[in-house]
A and B are shown apart, each in its own frame.
Chain A
């Protein structure tokens, strides 16, 4: 019982972090039907900015992360304006290559500045070995509660932004039908900039949440991005609630299912293949439901 609960808590915490990054991916995908390959490295870079502000400049960690999120938003808006907007949005190849280029550049620049040694990253929440509540024989760490709180806060902010503001309405309109959005007078470029700003801010938050667990270094996002993308795809790729549920599902699959399967001696090799198991499960979902759990099947009506 204690082990199951422990794995559940663990999976829920990991899953919540995947969900934060999955939401960032889905935001860009919804509006542009484009996977932003640079999302992970942008997030890593943002977390490094928080690291510099907190560890080297001595700011409180939550303030450092807040400032890093603002800087990431500005960087995201700049990338949209300078690197994405000049290209024809219906031609995906150049834009995909650009996001791959941004990925490589950011990774190399971060390596140049901070090298590839993992560094300890301060947690926003009490993170000592005894900062936990005992629940049924398992340890519920304050940092897990903190991560869930941040996910809930982020989703609330996103809900209000998208559903209660004019720019949010415009963003949903562009996501639904770009041509019609132009025809009601929405400047689609500016609206997409807003999407990039939020996605980059949330990416930085996700990386800063995971950094205390994984340590911070330029390649930290590689695995996280794959799990987050799996979560987003699991949830349907164009559904924000789907991204949250998908991300959490991947975390739980990884922790509970892979955990128990690997406890059985003949399958112990699975312990190192968590990613493969997660991806296999997603493939099975797609086999039966090609649009993911909550994705919309697009039907063109003429």
Chain B
């Protein structure tokens, strides 16, 4: 589990605690994400998956302490917007699009941190998700759940992130759409080299595209290892893979 055989570490989370009011959601979690990896965090409902991602990008709803280092810079005290400018993108649960904005405006605002032209990227994601192209002038709030998830993914990628955080992208979607989406993630990781940190309940799918994984239980990391190793771990098979 030493970091040396995983390559350059782009995200290093160390001893992070998090609370919502009186409720302690994370208890000193630590994990690492290396460049180009797809890392998955598995866990049941309420184990702290969403809080983990919120703590990494310092969203104001969660009070968290500890250390998060991205590409050598401590970001735990930085503003969410600042962290995004440093190359992180996050697709929150509930999709995080802008319901009162058109699909086109959603993509444009997704590229807010960039100074260069967005046209070629918008073209690219319209090709990847033809449904979005058909609905480019519709308000995002009028899209179906699957389409909103596509928009959320495209919106996040518009910023050309170095690190992409995904919060249960499979939640509430039809199985076929989920498979499509995960295929897209794997492809993006391969072609663009985007580093991804995914939290998921759907362990089968997530471990399928992940290089490395961690297991979260009651706010603590209880297990970590290459995804092949996790897939064969009897406790994981029993708890998450339904074997």
Contact = CB atoms under 8 A, between A and B. Distances in A.
A170 B113 CA distance: 11
Contacts of B61: 179
A302 B112 CA distance: 25
Contact of B109 (A179, A184, A300): A184
A186 B94 CA distance: 19
Interface in B64-95: 79-81, 84-85, 89-90, 92-95
Given A179-B96, A301-B145, A188 B109 contact: no
Given A169-B105, A172-B105, A302-B94, A186 B99 contact: no
Interface residues of A, number: 23
B54 to A, nearest CB: 10
Contact of B98 (A166, A176, A300): A176
B94 A173 contact: no
Contacts of A184: 84, 109-110, 112-113, 155, 159
Contacts of A301: 94-95, 99, 145, 148
A88 to B, nearest CB: 8
Contacts of A185: 81, 84-85, 112-113, 159
Nearest to B109: A173
Contacts of B81: 182, 185-188
A182 B59 contact: yes
Contacts of B101: 172-173, 176
Interface string A188-201: 10000000000000
Nearest to B90: A183
A300 B98 CA distance: 12
A296 B98 CA distance: 13
Q: Which of A176, A185, A186, A299 has the most CB of B within 10 A?
A: A185
B132 interface: no
B157 to A, nearest CB: 11
B89 A183 contact: yes
Q: Which of B79, B80, B110, B155 has the most CB of A within 10 A?
A: B80
A169 B108 contact: yes
A45 B59 CA distance: 38
Contacts of B97: 177, 180
A175 interface: yes
Contacts of B100: 172, 175-176, 296
B57 interface: yes
A176 B57 CA distance: 20
A250 B84 CA distance: 45
17 contacts: A166-B112, A169-B108, A170-B112, A172-B101, A172-B105, A172-B109, A173-B105, A173-B112, A176-B98, A177-B98, A179-B92, A180-B96, A180-B97, A183-B59, A183-B90, A296-B100, A301-B95
Interface of A: 166, 169-170, 172-173, 175-177, 179-188, 296, 299-302
